[in-house]
Structure 1
Amino acid sequence: MYTIVDLETTGGKFNEESIIEVAAYKFNGTNITDQFISLVNPQR
């Protein structure tokens, strides 16, 4: 079992852009067994 983490940003330059969404998926090798998804306010 392992976790996949996904970050979505406002653009492609990591030092100039902000994270706007964070997601984590627990995967047992066959199926996603749990998930967490949250939008992030980049202005905060």
Structure 2
Amino acid sequence: MIFTALLYWAVIAAVISAIAFFVVRGAVLSALRKHAAEQRAQGQQPPV
């Protein structure tokens, strides 16, 4: 019974962690794209 409860909470924690990872990853990639677009608009080359 206790093992089942621990497994249940571990699965919930894993799902929440995965969702948070993809949300943060999307926000970071969006910010990087926006920054690169701003640099191109100013005539600067983005770092490679």
Shorter-chain-normalised TM-score: which range?
under 0.3
TM-score scaled to structure 1, two decimals?
0.19
* Greater helix fraction, Structure 1 or Structure 2: 2
Structure showing greater relative contact order (alpha-carbon pairs closer than 8 Å, 6 or more residues apart): 1
- Greater strand content: 1
The alignment's TM-score, normalised by the length of structure 2, stands at 0.18
